[in-house]
Structure 1
């Protein structure tokens, strides 16, 4: 193995990807996962096996699994070993393995990772000091708050965040949009809240909202959620029914439901729809009704948005909530207003086909695919997936074996594992080298088939 192949695996979910490794683990095949790491250089197998061995206290064996990957000098493997050493109680070894040099301390990402390791070792003050030079980045501030939770460092964190929160307020007062201050106000409120100073957090963030001294809607929603968590429903209702209703009304409705007042939440949202038929209100209500088992009511609320050709289409959220409930999904898809989502007709047909397969109606599902062959990349693989979904594993495996392509062998893996033939699945799964070669051929074919302009960009969409 080498760092190039390992980086490709990590960046492309190549080799045996995490989902398939988890499937093997769920079926009790830890030894097979370890063997794949050793014999095939499968990084995700090595990572998952080491984690599982460490969880059961077999640290020596876990380190042995990781060692060939660590020996390449690949950074991801080094950090995985450091984490394992830390969990084994070998703190100094863990820290020395990945301790950043002076150049590394200039990197936000390196310091973030090492600070997490320090915090895990109980050296929270060192972690904080390491992050201080990078607190100008909003994501580092968020990480600081995350790793100090429950560590009795709230006052120190507030000292560090306060200047950034004040800078955000000044920027708003001066009419500037300073992205470097993003998130600081809600982080300040979050730390105040966890320090037991919720009233102070509400007062400060409430003044910011009232004075419109905030940079992004996240601050507004953080304030609404803060009110909801502390039962300040009167103030939350006032916020949710004023100029910020689009941002806060769903939070108010959720707060009502959390307190057993689902009927009131529904009434509030229906009144909002009657006054201002905004898609966000319909989205919240349809989802809430679906959670309550009222599918037909959810459809009635959402159906005016089924045909919208943008991210506000209300069909997809209902479909995604029903993917493991095929009978209800099919009922939804047979609704007369159900139309292809976002101008991608295959979405509707794919949903219908897999709903039918989930009900064991494989022939009908296959007929849907055959009637609408585009844009399936390979109808044979789709057919095999439908057969597997319908529980016809032997037929699905035969279909995929006959194809024999890299993609087909990748799909065959899961079918064989479900059949109890995990060792055979691993033998037949494409190697990293095969996957990379297939990817390269596909990229070359796409490039050859797309006419280019003089500047090298595609002459046809997508540009």
Structure 2
């Protein structure tokens, strides 16, 4: 075990993926997870095994699982061990394990992580003091607000961030286009609301909006959401139906639904579409119509956006919401208004195959893939996935075994666990070393060899 391999696992989801570890735990295989951590140096197994042991009060065992990883000095493992010690009531040991030295205290990242641990240990004032030297960074101010929620220090936190909000106001008033609006005004309003001073928060942020003292649309959205939470419908309607409609109309419509006025919300959005046929309005309305079980209405609303480019395409969002409703997914794909996804027609075939498989029609699903193999890097893997979706686990396992690739072995793991063969699944799963070598080989194969200049840049596009 070494920190390089551990960092690769954490950064690349190498080894046994967290989702797969969770699957093992769901099936009651904690012992197998612990063994994989010990024998295969599987970081995600160690991490989740330690947390599972803590949940059942087995703190000594949790420390034993995580200790070999922490012994490498790898920061995430040390943090995980500190978490276990803290849960076990060994507060001083936990804090001493990861306490930043003088050099580390110059790092806002190290201080932020340690401050969160201090708050959990009940040492809130110490955590605040640790962050004060770093409050020049907006994200540290945001972190301060986050970690002190419910800790009885709101007055002090508000005092600390207030000067930054006032400074932002002065700068935005001078030239809002040249100032980087980092959310200072929203952060202050959030604190006021948290302290039970919502009216003051609304007044202050509303004045900023009226005076155009904001730099990003996030401030507008935050103000609209603040109005929504406190039932200020008149002010919210005024904000949402004027020049800022595209930014906040969905907040107003959502508030109407939340307060039991869905018909009014639908009317508001349909009127907006009639006046300004913007994709955002159609996206919101089609989503809520689908949520209400009105698939045909959702299709009609979204249909003008079915053939647009990726970021504005409205077909995929409907499809994704119907993955667990295969009959309705097929209805959508067969609907006369549904057209191929612009530039990505092949995905329609993939969606159809998946829906057929979920309905148990595996042969038809496989036939679709064989006729349209386009989006699949390996159609054989796709066939195995469809067999799994159809509930034919034994056939899927056979397909994956015959393939025998690293990817196939990774997929076979989940099939075997679902079949009740968890030990075999772990033995089949590729090791970290095997995965790493395979991914490196794939990366090298995907990198074209092109002539380079003396400075290392390519002589051919892309430069």
Range into which the TM-score falls when normalised by the shorter chain: over 0.9
Give, in whole Å, the separation in 2 of the partners of 1:350 and 1:460: 32
391 and 359 in structure 1: CA distance in 2 versus 1, 3 angstrom threshold? same
- Report deviation, 1:453: 5.4
Contact 2:63 2:84 in 1 (8 A): yes
- Report deviation, 1:57: 0.6
Q: Does 1:419 align with 2:422?
A: no
Give, in whole Å, the separation in 1 of the partners of 2:13 and 2:323: 24
Alignment of 1:225-304 (within 5 A): 225-304=225-304
Query: What is residue 434 of structure 1 aligned with on the other side?
Result: 434
**Mean Cα displacement is larger for which, 290-299 or 358-367?**
358-367
Query: What is residue 318 of structure 1 aligned with on the other side?
Result: 318
- Report deviation, 1:335: 2.5
**Mean Cα displacement is larger for which, 311-320 or 51-60?**
311-320
Give, in whole Å, the separation in 1 of the partners of 2:459 and 2:238: 52
- Report deviation, 1:180: 5.8
Contact 1:307 1:337 in 2 (8 A): no
SS at match of 2:156: helix
307 and 342 in structure 1: CA distance in 2 versus 1, 3 angstrom threshold? closer
Give structure 1 regions of 4+ aligned residues with deviation exceeding 4 angstroms.
176-181, 449-461
Query: What is residue 6 of structure 1 aligned with on the other side?
Result: 6
Query: What is residue 191 of structure 1 aligned with on the other side?
Result: 191
Query: What is residue 64 of structure 1 aligned with on the other side?
Result: 64
Q: Deviations over 1:116-164 (max 9, x none)?
A: 0001001111111111122222221111111111111111111111111
TM-score, normalising length: structure 1:
0.97
Contact 1:451 1:460 in 2 (8 A): no
Give, in whole Å, the separation in 2 of the partners of 1:181 and 1:367: 54
Alignment of 1:356-395 (within 5 A): 356-395=356-395
Contact 1:387 1:395 in 2 (8 A): yes
SS at match of 1:311: helix
Give, in whole Å, the separation in 2 of the partners of 1:133 and 1:72: 30
Contact 1:326 1:358 in 2 (8 A): yes
458 and 339 in structure 1: CA distance in 2 versus 1, 3 angstrom threshold? farther
301 and 48 in structure 1: CA distance in 2 versus 1, 3 angstrom threshold? same
- Report deviation, 1:171: 1.8
Give, in whole Å, the separation in 1 of the partners of 2:153 and 2:5: 42
Query: What is residue 155 of structure 1 aligned with on the other side?
Result: 155
Contact 1:100 1:114 in 2 (8 A): yes
Query: What is residue 219 of structure 2 aligned with on the other side?
Result: 219
**Mean Cα displacement is larger for which, 171-180 or 221-230?**
171-180
**Residue ranges of structure 1 left out of the alignment (5+ in a row):** none
Give, in whole Å, the separation in 2 of the partners of 1:298 and 1:162: 45
Query: What is residue 114 of structure 1 aligned with on the other side?
Result: 114
- Report deviation, 1:452: 5.2
Give, in whole Å, the separation in 2 of the partners of 1:458 and 1:27: 55
- Report deviation, 1:371: 1.4
Q: Deviations over 1:173-210 (max 9, x none)?
A: 11155666501111111110010100000000000011
Query: What is residue 18 of structure 2 aligned with on the other side?
Result: 18
Contact 2:9 2:43 in 1 (8 A): yes
Number of positions where the alignment pairs a residue of Structure 1 with one of Structure 2: 461
